[in-house]
Structure 1
Amino acid sequence: MSEQAGADEHLPSDVHAVRDALVEWYEADHRDYPWRRTDDPYEILVSEVMSQQTQLDRVVAAWEDFLERWPTVADLAAADRGDVVGFWTDHSLGYNNRAKYLHEAARQVVHERDGEWPRDPDGLSELMGVGPYTANAVASFAFDNGNAVVDTNVKRVLYRAFDVPDDDDAFEATARALLPEGRSRVWNNAVMELGGVACEKTPDCDGAQCPWREWCSAYQSGDFTAPDVPTQPAFEGSRRQFRGRVISVLNEYDELTLDELGPRIRVDYAPEGEHGREWLRGLLSDLADDELVAVTEADGRTVATLRR
């Protein structure tokens, strides 16, 4: 059986009606995020990177602040990397290396491509830190030139609506079969909106006026089970939290020794304790591997500085 035939077996016979219903639902009313009102690839890339670990409602203020500070890709490329990483930490946007990669991607566009953005997923994937999902999202939303987006929300929708098995290849094939040719911008926005508004873990089919109710297997059966969704590890007390604190503190000082830095990032720091020098060395080693921090030995002391 071909991949296309395998996808078609899960879809209603009138695929055009399914597509039209979703697009009409989305265009009639949807969440008005500011990055949905632009086709600037720089602004869209910033929103996509920020959204990887942060809820969309929290991203709005950070996205607006970021673009106020660095309005264009050229502004970001010319920025001090330490300032970009510091912004990321101050706004609690998750892993700091995402800020480093975003800065480097801006430099690639400006210095290696004379300010010209790649326009398809393959080309965008060549930018630093831009994986397949982000590349496809930017190609879709900036250039209307993407493939079908398949994220956790989309998988949940396809699993419930069309009995697509919990298999990545099956999800990809069905998503591709549904995508209207040449309309990746509106389609990918619409299907992700459906998963984020109507078909969440606890669905709101009638309240959100889901446009697929007449075709949806879960709506007909009342069985709204869905594939397991990995949960984000708790941030409070995590290594991610303390890595962020290290960056924030070092952004204020030229350099600090271990015993100067430790008490500034956790109140229970004790040089020889469980959260002491060896624990702190581990954090700094991770940050050094990400090229965010430099660690040197001088006069028997370990000194940490923020790379800029």
Structure 2
Amino acid sequence: MTTGAEEWTLPDDRQAVRRALVAWYEDDHREFPWRRTDDPYEILVSEVMSQQTQLGRVVEAWEEFLERWPTTADLAATDRADVVGFWTDHSLGYNNRAKYLHEAARQVEEEYDGAFPTTPDELQELMGVGPYTANAVASFAFNNGDAVVDTNVKRVLYRAFDVPDDDAAFEEAARELMPEGRSRVWNNAIMELGGVACEQTPRCDETGCPWREWCGAYASGDFTAPDVPTQPSFEGSRRQFRGRVIGTLREYDELDLDTLGHRIRVDYAPDGEYGREWLRGLLDDLADDGLVETGERDGEVVARLHR
């Protein structure tokens, strides 16, 4: 196979490669509750929560979320501010993901009569569901997905089979490897391989990696991998202060700018670097996401959660 000027090949005995990985996964893998369900709503919630949060921390949030809103009908019927508040309280990353999840539940109820679409293309019609999430839900809920390609999968393909650091090449290799009609177990298995055995610091022998006999990196001892963008620090980030705005406005019906500013950061100064102009920019972003709104009271600008 060729991508640009680079050539690469997969092992001739692909059936053996497939059998080895699936057997390794089925013999022993990390237990997550969303791996024990094929409910598309429960799987969508897990996928959205996992986008910026370590899986160990997602478990508790996922269970609490589904206890509170066990179906799309329950989630669609609740107030968006409650969903955003839950997201903030559990430090689940960008609050607009809570908004999108809430809107997707409404779509399922209003546009699909409560029944989830089943293919990756159809699932992308839901608010906030991109190609990766749509494919994951189609795979894990309906066994009807394409090969999932995430950071872990890229690392595995790059090391094991010398697939070049090129998205098209990764997609092609992943597609060629996945056994037909087995997207559920295959995608779980290859992501598990990347998450447990083929981490940035590999644990080949310790985890009994099933691909050692075919792996170029294992043979050469060269475990370099594609550069992976690092997440910006949460502390002091706009994400952090967006969350503080939402959390504060949940506690107070509405607040004027200066009162809100002083409540979300100790170094707030109306005319300073982190003052009214900075705060207005933050509120504008949140307003664009449909999370807050501003108005006037007694001649002063005030902010409140979107109603």
Q: TM-score, normalised by structure 1?
A: 0.97
Q: Specify the alignment match of 1:185 in structure 2.
A: 184
Could you tell me how far apart the structure 2 residues matched to 1:291 and 1:38 are? 32
Q: Does 1:237 align with 2:236?
A: yes
The percent identity for this pair of structures is 79
> 1:298, CA displacement in angstroms?
4.0
Residue 221 of structure 2 is matched in structure 1 by: 222
User: In the comparison of the two structures, how many residue pairs are matched?
Assistant: 306
Tell me if the contact between 1:7 and 1:170 (Cα under 8 Å) persists in the aligned partners: no
Q: Say which is worse superposed, 82-91 or 296-305, in terms of deviation.
A: 296-305
**CA separation in 1, counterparts of 2:283 and 2:276?**
10
- The CA distance in 1 between the partners of 2:127 and 2:94, in whole Å, is 15
For 2:89 and 2:263, the matched residues in 1 are separated by 15
Moved more, 171-180 or 289-298: 289-298
| 1:120 equivalent in structure 2 | 119
| AA at the equivalent of 1:55 | Q
CA contact (8 A) 2:6 2:164 kept: no
Whether the 8 Å contact between 1:41 and 1:117 is mirrored in structure 2 is yes
Q: What whole-Å deviation, never above 9, does each CA across 1:83-109 have from its counterpart, x for those lacking one? A: 000000000000000000000000000
CA distance in 1, matches of 2:88, 2:70: 19
What amino acid sits opposite 2:107 in the alignment? Q
- Matched residue, 2:86: 87
Q: Secondary structure of the equivalent of 1:285? A: helix
Q: Which sections of structure 1, spanning at least 5 residues, go unmatched?
A: none
State the one-letter code of the partner of 2:29: H
Equivalent in the alignment of 1:56:
55
**SS of structure 1 residue aligned to 2:149:** coil
1:131 matched residue in structure 2: 130
Q: SS at the partner of 1:201?
A: coil
Amino acid in the other structure paired with 1:273: G
Alpha-carbon distance between aligned partners in 2 of 1:232 and 1:188, rounded to the nearest angstrom: 24
Query: Offset at 1:112?
Result: 1.3
1:45 Cα deviation from its structure 2 partner: 0.1
Describe the SS at the equivalent of 1:251. helix
Q: Give the Cα–Cα distance (whole angstroms) in 2 for the partners of residues 82 and 285 of structure 1.
A: 17
Query: What SS does the corresponding residue of 1:20 show, helix, strand or coil?
Result: helix
The Cα of 1:297 is off from its aligned counterpart by 3.3
1:63-212 to 2 correspondences below 5 Å = 63-212=62-211
Alpha-carbon deviation of 1:251?
0.9
Deviating beyond 2 angstroms after TM superposition, the runs of 4 or more aligned structure 1 residues are 6-9, 297-300
* Per-residue deviation, residues 204-235 of structure 1 (Å, max 9, x unmatched): 00001100000000000000000000000000
Could you tell me how far apart the structure 2 residues matched to 1:211 and 1:49 are? 29
Q: What is aligned with 1:295?
A: 294
For residue 299 of structure 1, report the CA deviation from its aligned partner.
Answer: 3.9
Residue 297 of structure 2 is aligned to residue 306 of structure 1: no
Q: CA 1:266–1:114 in 2, change beyond 3 Å: closer, same or farther?
A: same
Letter in 1 for 2:254: E
Mapped contact 1:7–1:174 kept (Cα < 8 A): no
Give the whole-Å Cα distance in 1 for the aligned partners of 2:205 and 2:2.
Answer: 33
Q: Specify the SS of the correspondent of 2:282.
A: helix
* Change over 3 Å in CA distance of 1:7–1:122 after alignment to 2: farther
| TM-aligned CA deviation for residue 7 of structure 1 | 11
Q: Distance in 1 between matches of 2:298 and 2:190?
A: 59
CA distance in 2, matches of 1:184, 1:266: 47
Question: In 1, distance between residues paired with 2:194 and 2:259?
Answer: 47
Q: CA deviation at 1:9?
A: 4.7
Aligned-partner SS, 1:305: strand
- Cα offset for 1:274? 1.5
State how far apart, in whole Å, the 1-side matches of 2:6 and 2:169 are: 7
Q: Which residue matches 1:279?
A: 278
Secondary structure of 2:251's counterpart equals: coil
1:164-210 CA distance string (max 9 Å, x none): 01110000000000010000000000000000000000000000110
Query: What's the CA shift for 1:259?
Result: 1.2
Contact 1:15 1:178 in 2 (8 A): yes
Structure 2 unaligned spans of 5+: none
Distance in 2 of aligned mates of 1:241 and 1:296 = 24
Amino acid at match of 1:137: A
Partners of 2:160 and 2:281 in 1: how far apart? 46
Matched to 1:59, the amino acid is V
Tell me which residue corresponds to 2:248: 249
Q: Determine the C-alpha separation between the residues in 2 that align with 1:135 and 1:251.
A: 31
Match of 1:13 in 2: 12
Cα shift at 1:10: 1.7
Call closer, same or farther: CA 1:8–1:148 in 2, change over 3 Å: farther
1:263 and 2:266 are equivalent in the alignment:
no
Provide the TM-score with structure 2 as the length reference. Answer: 0.97
